[in-house]
Amino acid sequence: MLDETTLFQRLGAEAIGTAFLVFIGVGAVPATLIVNGDAPFTMADLGMISFAFGTIVVATVYALGHIGGNHINPAVTVGLAVSGKFPWSQVPAYIGAQVVGAIIGAAAIIGVLGMKASDVGLGVASYADISWVQAFTAEFVGTFILVFTIFGVIHRKAAAGFAGVAIGLVVFAAIIPVAPATGASINPARTVGPMLVQQIAGGTVKWGQLPVYLAAELLAGIAAALLYGVLARTPADRHTAGPGVDLGDPEPEPAVARQTSSA
């Protein structure tokens, strides 16, 4: 079709969207720590960081969702594939683009804030003083809530036009209770990108924690997709593999039915 985007365009949109997410959302962490100096981290600081994540998600949904779905999160991509809404053949390319975007976004943080950003941790997700089971649970719950909400707001019966706002709000909300435990990555690309850049910059990275994050986030995406399918599927629903996502609406509104973003 003449109005269809190419795979290259969709991958570019995924990389750009994820780069924006990491630069604004993750970048808010070192920015806050640098500005605060020796001042203690407060709940207000956490709220502002959560707000940065939420607002950039809203922006990317409406700016890029019509190009390739704006998954910007491998947990979303895998969840859509498991549910039959996205072709498995494109999953590796989408995840690759998301990780590349996360690396670019993390590198841009250092480019803007300098090595001070690395000195204060670069916003790398990690956990301390809790068990891996608790960390797994935190990331699983946060990612599950995010992906489950995404499936709900892009469903053919959902109110049109509000997907971006709802997704941004759930990102904002999920980060607040999860961040004190694990940093609230809830996104494998957001986990990996800053880790790689922090390692290159000479910072400390707890690579042993990476499997906990990746397993929790990806399994949560799969679980959320399957559970939503059980709850919401009706005989009228049909799934179609496509460049973004088609949740069964034969005539979806372009700005809504294909917007599938996350943190």
For the segment 202-211, what is each residue's pLDDT rounded down to a tens digit? 999 999 999 9
Q: What is the pLDDT of residue 238?
A: 55
Structure tokens at 100: 């590349």
pLDDT tens-digit series, residues 25-81: 999 999 999 999 989 899 999 999 999 999 999 999 999 999 999 999 999 999 999
DSSP 21-40: HIIIIITHHHHHHHHHTTSP
pLDDT band at residue 2 under the 50/70/90 scheme: low
- 3-state DSSP call for residue 178? helix
What pTM value is reported for the model? 0.90
Tell me: pLDDT of 93 over 60.
yes
Tell me: pLDDT of 177 over 60.
yes
pLDDT band at residue 260 under the 50/70/90 scheme: low
Residues 6+ apart with CB under 8 A from 51: 172
Question: Residue 246: beta bridge partners?
Answer: 240
Which of 109, 93, 98 has the alpha carbon at shortest distance from 197?
109
Which of 147, 146, 163, 165 has the alpha carbon at shortest distance from 257?
163
Instruction: Go through 85-111 and write b for each residue having 16 or more CB atoms within 10 A of its CB, e for each that does not.
Output: bbeeebbeebbebbbbbbbbbbbbbbe
Residue with tokens 């998600």: 57
Residue with tokens 């069964």: 248
The CATH fold of domain 7-233+242-257 = Glycerol uptake facilitator protein (1.20.1080)
- 3-state DSSP call for residue 56? helix
Residues 6+ apart with CB under 8 A from 215: 136
Higher pLDDT, 201 or 246: 201
Q: What is the pLDDT of residue 262?
A: 64
How many Å apart are CA 27 and CA 105, to the nearest integer? 8
DSSP 91-160: HHHHHHHHHHHHHHHHHHHHHHHTHHHHHTTTT-----SS-HHHHHHHHHHHHHHHHHHHHHHTSTTSPT
Tell me: pLDDT of 189 over 60.
yes
User: 4-13, 88-97, 141-150, 243-252 — which is least confidently predicted?
Assistant: 243-252
- Mean pLDDT for 224-235 is 91
Q: What is the pLDDT of residue 85?
A: 94
Q: What counts of helices (H) and strands (E) characterise the chain?
A: 11, 0
Do 74 and 215 meet the contact criterion of CB atoms below 8 Å apart?
Answer: no
pLDDT band at residue 1 under the 50/70/90 scheme: low
Count of other CB atoms within 10 angstroms of residue 141: 17
User: 10-14, 45-49, 256-260 — which is least confidently predicted?
Assistant: 256-260
